[in-house]
Amino acid sequence: MPKSTAPMTLRESLAFLDWVYNPFQSRDVIRVYDLLSTRTPSARGLWLNLGYWRDANTLDDACEAMAALLAERAGMGPADRVLDVGFGFADQDIYWTKHYQPQSIVGLNITASQVAAARTRVADLGLADRIDLREGSATAMPIPDASVDIVTALECAFHFNTREAFFAEALRVLRPGGRLVVADILPMPVEQCWVGRQQQRLSWWAVAAKFPIPEANRYTRAEYGPRLAAQGFTDTQVESIRADVYAPLHRHLAADPSVTQRLHPLARPPLQLALMVSAETIYRGLDYVLASARKPG
């Protein structure tokens, strides 16, 4: 399915205005992503992640690099049965199938509109026999016990109600020795400086209010590993990669206005205003981690 270029209806535009500009609105995850539809900022695909920018020069390259980072951390290969939760429009699943050739990928996503669009894309590429996309929840997976080798969650686990319920389900569906790999957004550790703390709170609120994050998921990377371990995982690793995500993304958006132009016109003004502020301030309250763990056995 191609990127949407059709104008929004009046009803959609009013809903978009309310979502972007009303600080008191509250929308659930499905309604947010239904509203965004396929109006994504990437040029080639329908990528939704912020990208890993260590060696990337374009948004699409950075998004692919983030997917590759997860695959490499998981040790993904031809023998693996992969479960990808919150798959968006399945860009990472298509990428992994082409570059890492796992035995199979099952995707779970609660947003029916994304599932339908992603299925069409996968079928058009002739990959439907290798990528099975389903509507389903990451916290109540319709997946048998001990049936997959890898569970991935690329920039979505912060939405799950709760993240720890997802950890428990991931442990259940993984075979002994299976791997969990997550790219996730967290709040930063609280600063001592009063000004810094206020900037952190505003930065976190700006994200959590627009892209619903349950309060139960608001903890720092210091707690992430212990919470994985509490569910039964071992070999936990939690690494902050925020330096290779937020600041270079900010620089790229400021340098390449074509990315902003791919967004809906109503979304452009707040982004353009944000680009006038330093990345240090805008993202002060946001951490970004690559986390991995293994099921014992």
> Alpha-carbon distance 122 to 73, whole Å?
24
- 239 strand-pairing partners: 290
> Alpha-carbon distance 3 to 54, whole Å?
27
Of the residues 135, 155, 191, 239, only one is catalytic, namely: 155
> Alpha-carbon distance 133 to 113, whole Å?
12
Residue with tokens 């997946």: 143
Peptide bond into 162 cis (omega under 30): yes
Strand duo 104-109 + 131-135: pairing: parallel
Q: If DSSP states are collapsed to H, E and C, what string results for 81-120? A: EEEEECCCCCHHHHHHHHHCCCCEEEEEECCHHHHHHHHH
Task: Mark whether 155 is an active-site residue.
Answer: yes
DSSP of 171-199, one letter per residue? Answer: HHHEEEEEEEEEEEEEEPPPPSSHHHHHH
> Alpha-carbon distance 231 to 103, whole Å?
27
- Cα Rg of the chain, angstroms: 19
Q: Could you tell me the maximum CA-CA distance found in the chain, to the nearest angstrom?
A: 56
Residues acting as catalytic residues: 155
